[in-house]
């Protein structure tokens, strides 16, 4: 067993620790690994080129992060908060429940990439939920903002997890089918996906209730904070002169 090619892993760790260009670090680590495996430079280039052509669809996901970062730098979060604040009747609960429904329906037909944490929750959903909560209940502290962001991320997770099980071509459905086939039970993927619908409906109802309970708790906290601020003011007020 030749362990020298593993030196490429150390090169990646060192390059990232030094905050060097990620693309340059990966390419250099690839050459180090190839040369340590006694490949010629041309062979290493061939391997890199073949991997690029076969996995070029991953560029769609790699380009998403810098685009989102550029939009955030130019005020995407602030514009999302201002936009949701101008909508009448828009509350944090209604916004998250609507997104949950959309996420489940899109995942049920295989469109799992329409949402997600980096491209939707962080730049759009979480700021809009914060803006709606601030418009409805007042100024938020850091703990409340973090909880709202966590609820937005959890909403995306629930919608994706229970929605994609309805899609017959999803890997989990095929895994379930193969498991039952190995144990002598013949099931059609359509039947497995069909029985995923009641679970998805229950997940939607349960998480929608959680969202509404979270918003009511947020309202109670703000009311309690408001009473705590008014009581000292009333206590320190001077009695009226006779």
Q: Which domain holds residue 212?
A: 64-235
Number of domains in the chain: 2
Would you say residue 89 has pLDDT above 60? yes
| Residue at 123 is within a domain | yes
Say if residue 158 is in the same domain as residue 105: yes
3-state DSSP call for residue 189? helix
Q: Is residue 242 part of a domain?
A: no
pLDDT per residue as tens digits for the range 13-58: 998 888 888 778 888 888 899 888 888 888 888 887 777 666 655 5
Of the candidates 194, 78, 184, 180, the one whose C-alpha atom is nearest the C-alpha of residue 126 is: 78
Q: How many helices (H) and strands (E) does the chain have?
A: 11, 0
Q: Are residues 40 and 146 in the same domain?
A: no
Digit-coded pLDDT (tens) for 130-157: 888 888 888 888 899 999 999 999 999 9
Within a domain: residue 241?
no
Same domain, 202 and 91: yes
Cα–Cα distance, 219 to 229 (Å, whole number): 15
pLDDT at 60 over 60: no
Asked if 25 and 78 sit in the same domain, the reply is: no
Is-above-0.75 flag for pTM? no
């Amino acid at each position: 067993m030749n362990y020298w090619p593993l030196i490429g892993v150390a090169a990646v760790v060192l390059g990232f620790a030094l905050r060097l260009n990620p693309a340059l670090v990966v390419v250099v680590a690839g050459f180090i690994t190839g040369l340590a495996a006694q490949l010629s430079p041309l062979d290493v280039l061939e391997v890199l080129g073949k991997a690029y052509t076969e996995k070029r669809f991953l560029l769609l996901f790699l380009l998403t992060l810098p685009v989102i970062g550029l939009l955030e730098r130019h005020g995407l979060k602030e514009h999302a908060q201002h936009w949701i604040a101008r909508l009448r009747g828009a509350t944090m609960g209604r916004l998250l429940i609507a997104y949950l429904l959309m996420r489940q329906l899109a995942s049920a037909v295989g469109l799992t990439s329409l949402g997600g944490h980096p491209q939707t929750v962080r730049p759009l959903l979480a700021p809009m939920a914060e803006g709606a909560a601030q418009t409805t209940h007042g100024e938020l502290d850091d703990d409340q903002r973090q909880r709202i962001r966590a609820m937005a991320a959890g909403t995306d997770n629930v919608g994706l997890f229970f929605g994609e099980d309805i899609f017959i071509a999803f890997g989990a459905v095929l895994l379930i089918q193969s498991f039952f086939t190995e144990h002598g039970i013949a099931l059609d993927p359509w039947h497995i996906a069909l029985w995923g619908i009641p679970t998805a409906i229950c997940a939607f109802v349960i998480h929608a209730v959680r969202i509404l309970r979270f918003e009511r708790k947020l309202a109670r906290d703000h009311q309690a904070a408001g009473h705590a601020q008014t009581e000292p003011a009333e206590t320190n007020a001077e009695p009226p002169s006779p």
